[in-house]
Amino acid sequence: MCNRYRIEREEYVYVGGKKVPPPKLRVSRKSKDARPTDTVPVFARLPEGIEGCEWRWGWTVPFGGGLLTNSKSETINTLKTFQVAARQRRCLMVGDAWVEWKHEIVPSGVTGKVRKIPHEFRHEQGLPLFFAGIWQEGKDGRRECSMLTRAPDAMCEEIHNRQPLVLHPDAFEWWLSEDQSPPNPEVLACCLRDCWKIGLLPNDHSRSTPISGLDDKRGAGPVRGPDISAASGVDPDGAGRRSRRGGVAAGAGGGSQPDLPL
C-alpha cells in the first residue's frame, strides 16, 4: 500500500476539462514528503465546480483507532465504508512520485534479516501524477481523503503487490463529474501503466538513484502506458505536438461515462 508520496511543485493544474483558464492549485505545504495525516493538494468537484483544495490524508473510521490512507479500487463499489463516497465524493490527489518498500532478506548468520528498501516511482516524462481518491467529512469537520490502489502493473510488481491508481487524463472529467453511478471497470482501467522511472530512495530523500536493470527491461517487456503529454498540454520534447483530441479529455463536460480506451 502507498503510505508516502512526493509533492514537489508549487502549483498543479487540472488538465481534464474545458474550463479556461483551467483550475489551479497553489501548494502551501513546505515539506515535499507527504505522509498520513498530512494536508495534501486535491482537486474535487464542489458546488462551485472543480476546485483545488488542501485536505487531510487518511480517513478516520468509527471502528478502531487507525486511518484508512488507501482504499482498494476493486471493492469501493461493494464495501459499505466506501460505497457512498465512490458515487458522490471522488477526488484527485496530485503529486510527483510515490514510494513503495521492497522487502529483501539480508543474510545474517543462520536466520537472515528482512530489510525494507524504499523505491520511488515517477512518470518517465516527469509529468505530475493524478491519483484517484475519495473523500469524506471527518469527525472534527475537516475534509479527509483516501487514495485508491490497484493490482501492480508489470513494472511495479517486482517491488510491491499493490500500487496507486494513477488515472489517465481521459478519465478525469468523469471521475470528477456529478454522475453518481458506481465507477465501472472501464473508468478504473483508464490508468497509466508501465511508464515509470523507478529509483532507489536515499536516506536524505533529496533525489532518487535510477535502477538501470528495471529501466532497461521496460522496452522489451510489457506495453508501455499512454503518452499523456499532448492531453496534459506538456511537451517534454519541445516539438509542439497537439493531441488528436485537441488537448481535451474524452467525455469532458458530459455526465455519462465515456467510451474509454483500456
Any residues with CB less than 8 A from the CB of 147 and at least 6 apart, and which? 2, 57, 69, 70, 71, 93, 131, 132, 133, 164, 165
What confidence score (pLDDT) does residue 11 get? 96
What confidence score (pLDDT) does residue 2 get? 84
- Using CB atoms within 10 Å of the CB of residue 231, give its burial: 0 to 12 exposed, 13 to 18 middle, 19+ buried: buried
Higher pLDDT, residue 245 or 180: 180
Give 136-164 pLDDT, tens digit per residue: 999 889 999 999 999 999 999 999 999 99
Residue 244 lies in a domain: no
Q: How many C-beta atoms surround the C-beta of residue 235 within 10 A?
A: 13
Residue 260 lies in a domain: no
What confidence score (pLDDT) does residue 153 get? 94
Residue 19 lies in a domain: yes
Give the CA radius of gyration of the chain.
18
Give 12-67 pLDDT, tens digit per residue: 999 887 777 889 999 999 899 999 999 999 999 999 899 999 999 999 887 766 78
Cell of 71: 482504499
CATH code: domain of residue 50: 3.90.1680.10
What confidence score (pLDDT) does residue 137 get? 94
Residue 253 lies in a domain: no
Residue 237 lies in a domain: no
C-alpha 61/C-alpha 81 separation (Å) is 9
C-alpha 119/C-alpha 198 separation (Å) is 7
Residue 157 domain boundaries: 5-232
User: What domain count does the chain have?
Assistant: 1
Closest C-alpha to 124, from 86, 97, 163? 97
**Quick check: 255 pLDDT over 70?**
no
Question: What percent of the chain lies above the pLDDT cut of 90?
Answer: 54
Residue 122 lies in a domain: yes
Which whole number is the average pLDDT over 65-73? Answer: 89
